[in-house]
Structure 1
Amino acid sequence: MSPRTAPHGARQDPPPADGATGWITGAVPDGWFAEPPQIVIDRDEIIIWGRLPEPQLADDATDADRTAARSGRIHQFREDTRDDRIRVARQAEHRYRRKVSWGVRCGDAEQLFSHLAAPVMTRLRQPERQILDTLVDAGVARSRSEALAWCVRLVGRHTDDWLSQLRQAMSTVDDLRRQGPDGL
């Protein structure tokens, strides 16, 4: 699903996803997950993360056994729930005008199914391009695009608290804006 465009080709964000977490949690069949799903929403995509119960293994199971069992549990969940996941995703995509993806966690294993990778265009000056080229030359990434994605993930990992505070502040501003005289 592509974003709507405003006059002159400018991007228009999808409608607010107010209530999406509750709606999706209610739409997910009971018994799928060991706890309520975690719903992550941005302007392009909704990811529904669910935690699967750990497989029961013998006390003498090795780490390799545990890893294989978790992988098997994730694979079986994906196969067993495919039709129902597609049905919930289609309803949510229509309702919230965003791509819906699914991910599961089992122990320390996690897998994201069919998620969105959105292209992002940017202009970089030579010093920034040299950073990307160094990452490519060192074999950290295969292309400038992959190097840029690597940098974004690295920054995200090291600034999680700051980004969380920024998102909370933006949410507060949105709430105050909606409470204004015009209820924007």
Structure 2
Amino acid sequence: MAVLTGGLAACGDDSEPQESTTTASPIDRSTDSPSSSESSSSSESETSSGDGSGDGAELPDDLPPEARKNTKEGAAAFGEYYYEAVGEASHSGVTTDLAPLGDDECTPCSKVVSNIEQDAAKGQTRSAKPYSLSNVKAAERPDQGFKVSMTVDVKAHHVYENDKIIGDVEKTQYMLTEHVVWSGGRWHIADWVIS
């Protein structure tokens, strides 16, 4: 039985222009701490305070400092963090850190959270964090925010239900494109699509 993530949703317009890109460095969470995330700047226009956004949602403590900055590199780092959080939530069944990262109107964001929560309620999780991300790039969109794109490698893994294997996911690769916007002093995922 082959199973793909419940969050493989597509929505929105992929007609952003081809502009210059910035490659994000891999995120190293081993040195991140909540207290170090805002040591360099306290300007609301450049960074988030780390205590949430205008919508009252709290940002995860392990969100790296670069993903808290209102810069092109910050958008790329936030987009990368978001999809890593999707992978972690699909492995653990816990969406606490994932849910506040998406905009309230982001259909694929709410759908992936809902699917993971429904699977977890049935006792379904994945045997491993399934995703490995590379070639993370950000390009400014003409409307607002950034188009963040990356290559997603999905490793072969099992799907469990109450500690029994109920399916296998085959190794695959796809492109992920996210629309990342700055609002309320922090980044949000406004939309994403897989191709």
TM-score of the pair, normalised by structure 2:
0.20
TM-score of the aligned structures, taking structure 1 as reference length: 0.21
Question: Which protein is richer in strand relative to its size?
Answer: 2
Give the structure, 1 or 2, with the largest relative contact order (CA under 8 Å, sep 6 or more). Answer: 2
